Amino acid sequence: MTQTRSSQSGAEFLYSHSGAEDIFTPEDFTDEHKMIAKTAQQFITKEVEAHRETIENQDFDQVVTLLKKAGDLGLLGHSIPEKYGGLGLDKISKGLVGEVVGRTSGYGVAQSNHTCIATLPITHFGTHEQKEKYLPKLASGEYLGAYCLTEPNAGSDALASQTTAVLNSEGTHYILNGTKLYITNAVFSDTFIVYAKIDGKHFSAFIVEKDFPGLSLGPEEKKMGIKGSSTRSVILEDCQVPIDHLLGEVGKGHVIALNVLNLGRFNLGSACTGGAKHALNLALQHTNERKQFGQTIASFTATQEKVAVMMARIYASESLQYRTASLLEEAMKDLYDEEDHRIVGKQMMEYAVECAICKVFGSETLDQVVDESLQLHGGAGFIQEYPIEQMYRDSRINRIFEGTNEVNRLLIPGNLLKKAIKGDVPLEELVEKAKRELSSKENHSLSENDAIRSMRNVFLVCTGLAFEKHGKELMNHQETVMKLANIAIVLYAAESSVLRAIKGGRQEGDVKTLLARTFLEESLLQVEAAARKLIMSVLPAHEKREVMDLIIRELSSYDFGNSLERNRQIAKHSYNKLKYEV
């Protein structure tokens, strides 16, 4: 089981520093963690990859057969308590399985969707009877599940749902009417978690079974990628749902829908990290074999720099994923038996900011790595015979579902501002302290940790300036909010990378230190760019220069040595391993 540490509260990384010993890293994996990862790895390599083409051709019977095999191996029950037929493992294990399965895109989406957003609503909000009835079957794969929130007129604005539920005159059934759009796993699901408004007002959740009268499916959507996962609309026409299939309380569907999505975002980050590792491995293998101008593509230093940048970004993604996994575990480890849904919701929401970052950073890492890996394949990358072609198409959806990356970005500063307005975070004091530290040149050792402190101070100063300018209306100035979100994301990723390298004992030349430095260098540039753009728009002309100079001076004072040499060393390490391994 996960070792517990003195963890930060949700979003606390935005205003206070963590010690290296406070964060969980992949180096802390237990034998139990390694065992579940190995089981998942063997299953994916032996079973799923052997059927890549069949899955891509939308043979959903094959997908179902594989899901049931995954159930037999315990890979569907990691997040279901033992007493309901699961393994009751921790969030680190959930992350590991998600990462391994994620690299298979289409199949991975089907499995992750089932184990996460389609099952967790019952695990955490079901009655004992509902859990007894459904969880053992969802754990074994006898039942497969779907999560139905999106509607034609309710996408990002999910609570604008128009699906209605009305109690029948006998008081035995809710009658549901409406259409749910783009529902993953629809064609083979036995259970559908459906959100609808009781009497058109009270947003609530229901467990709907596939055979309930009035439920039908639309045709299979023709998609750009993730073809191995079914996507259909779910149509509810006077669908009769017995009253004991209400999930949670009347009018509290948002507590289920939104909190489960937090876990979904963490899960998606894991899948994207696994996918990015796989795409990098394909690039390493291809460029190591392919020769042009009498030498391998790997031997060109431009290739080596690309490899180093991809490695550093994946290292950051992996570091922040497992740091978050451990935080989630801390917050949620006692929730399996918790019956008070307010407590369940509060604990699941605690790390909403970190989960949003997992999703945004993971999906953008995957897109960048897949794009660069395809480029390194040259023309072959465009040909279906090479798996990177499919990965390129499959990766794009990750920036869209589970809340678009824009919606997730808005959530990050939004969460901090809410806490500040409620008085839970002394934002003004923190901003003043950050200003003082930025203006002072004392104690400036120019270490990686100091660079993180500078980035955090820049975030706080920018937040303070934005808040001074717009006050409580800040969230309506989305261009500014997006820039704050970008700084926050890079800060969490860079801090997770640096602390992991420090925790590992950090020796010169150690690959984790090299990777942390390469990522940090890029992060400082990104923070500077976002901060400069933000300052341009929030400060009057006569005040801009001074603050801008302060920030540029601070962020450009760091020098982590010759990046060219460092990146060649990272590439050398990567080509020695011929895969992502740190």
Binding flag, residue 112, ligand FAD (CB under 6 A)? no
Count of CB atoms within 10 A of residue 477's CB? 14
Could you give phi then psi for residue 151, rounded to 5 degrees?
-135, 170
Q: x-or-dash pattern for ligand FAD, window 470-499, by CB under 6 A?
A: --------x---------------------
Least CB distance to ligand FAD at residue 574 (A): 32
- In whole angstroms, give the CA distance from residue 333 to residue 347: 10
Beta partners for 207? 193
- In whole angstroms, give the CA distance from residue 389 to residue 377: 10
Tokens encoding 242: 């017995």
Residue with smaller CB distance to ligand FAD, 194 or 461? 194
Binder of ligand FAD out of 15, 29, 203, 401 (CB under 6 A): 401
Tokens encoding 325: 């996994």
Judged by CB under 6 A, which stretch of 28-36, 56-64, 181-189, 560-568 contacts ligand FAD? 181-189
Q: Is 329 exposed, middle or buried (0-12, 13-18, 19+ CB in 10 A)?
A: buried
Binding flag, residue 107, ligand FAD (CB under 6 A)? no
Residue with smaller CB distance to ligand FAD, 191 or 231? 231
Binding flag, residue 259, ligand FAD (CB under 6 A)? no
Residue with smaller CB distance to ligand FAD, 165 or 571? 165
Least CB distance to ligand FAD at residue 52 (A): 19
Binder of ligand FAD out of 37, 92, 148, 431 (CB under 6 A): 148
Binding flag, residue 191, ligand FAD (CB under 6 A)? no
Binding flag, residue 235, ligand FAD (CB under 6 A)? no
- In whole angstroms, give the CA distance from residue 335 to residue 10: 17
Binding flag, residue 310, ligand FAD (CB under 6 A)? no
- In whole angstroms, give the CA distance from residue 205 to residue 515: 45
Binder of ligand FAD out of 79, 115, 140, 150 (CB under 6 A): 150
Binding flag, residue 560, ligand FAD (CB under 6 A)? no
Judged by CB under 6 A, which stretch of 148-156, 207-215, 291-299, 377-385 contacts ligand FAD? 148-156
Binder of ligand FAD out of 400, 529, 548, 550 (CB under 6 A): 400
User: For ligand FAD, how many residues bind (rule: CB under 6 A)?
Assistant: 20
Residue with smaller CB distance to ligand FAD, 257 or 280? 257
- In whole angstroms, give the CA distance from residue 392 to residue 282: 12
Do 224 and 173 meet the contact criterion of CB atoms below 8 Å apart? no
Binder of ligand FAD out of 183, 297, 391, 458 (CB under 6 A): 183
- In whole angstroms, give the CA distance from residue 419 to residue 426: 9
Residue with smaller CB distance to ligand FAD, 116 or 582? 116
* Positive or negative torsion for Cα 332, 335, 341, 343: negative
> Which of 254, 215, 236, 489 is CA-nearest to residue 365?
489
> Which of 210, 306, 202 is CA-nearest to residue 249?
202
Binder of ligand FAD out of 15, 107, 134, 182 (CB under 6 A): 182
> Which of 155, 121, 153, 158 is CA-nearest to residue 138?
121
Binder of ligand FAD out of 134, 147, 392, 459 (CB under 6 A): 147
Alpha helices in 174-216 (DSSP H): none
Residue of this chain nearest to ligand FAD (CB atom)? 155
Q: Which amino acid is at 341?
A: H
Least CB distance to ligand FAD at residue 507 (A): 43
Binding flag, residue 220, ligand FAD (CB under 6 A)? no
Least CB distance to ligand FAD at residue 113 (A): 6
Site for ligand FAD in 516-545 (CB under 6 A): none
Binder of ligand FAD out of 11, 55, 135, 149 (CB under 6 A): 149
> Which of 211, 213, 146 is CA-nearest to residue 180?
146
Catalytic residue among 12, 99, 364, 402: 402
Binding flag, residue 136, ligand FAD (CB under 6 A)? no
Residue with smaller CB distance to ligand FAD, 180 or 566? 180
Binder of ligand FAD out of 155, 214, 242, 251 (CB under 6 A): 155
Q: What is the dihedral of CA 450, 452, 449, 513, to 10 degrees?
A: -130
Binding flag, residue 184, ligand FAD (CB under 6 A)? yes
Q: Is 368 exposed, middle or buried (0-12, 13-18, 19+ CB in 10 A)?
A: middle
Site for ligand FAD in 63-92 (CB under 6 A): none
Judged by CB under 6 A, which stretch of 178-186, 244-252, 346-354, 505-513 contacts ligand FAD? 178-186
Binder of ligand FAD out of 404, 537, 557, 569 (CB under 6 A): 404
Could you give phi then psi for residue 262, rounded to 5 degrees?
-60, -45
Least CB distance to ligand FAD at residue 404 (A): 3
DSSP 3-state helix, strand, coil percentages of the chain (rounded to 5)?
A: 65, 10, 25
- In whole angstroms, give the CA distance from residue 473 to residue 231: 38
> Which of 33, 6, 1 is CA-nearest to residue 21?
6
Count of CB atoms within 10 A of residue 247's CB? 22
Binder of ligand FAD out of 22, 47, 209, 406 (CB under 6 A): 406
HSE on the CB side for 579, CA within 13 Å? 4
Locus of tokens 């996960």:
2
Residue with smaller CB distance to ligand FAD, 194 or 570? 194
Binding flag, residue 231, ligand FAD (CB under 6 A)? yes
Using alpha carbons only, what angle is made at residue 105 by residues 101 and 106, rounded to the nearest 5 degrees? 110
- In whole angstroms, give the CA distance from residue 343 to residue 500: 31
Binding flag, residue 256, ligand FAD (CB under 6 A)? no
Active site residue 305: no
Binding site for ligand FAD (CB under 6 A): 113, 147-150, 155-156, 182-184, 223, 231, 397, 400-401, 403-404, 406-407, 478
- Mind telling me the catalytic residues? 402
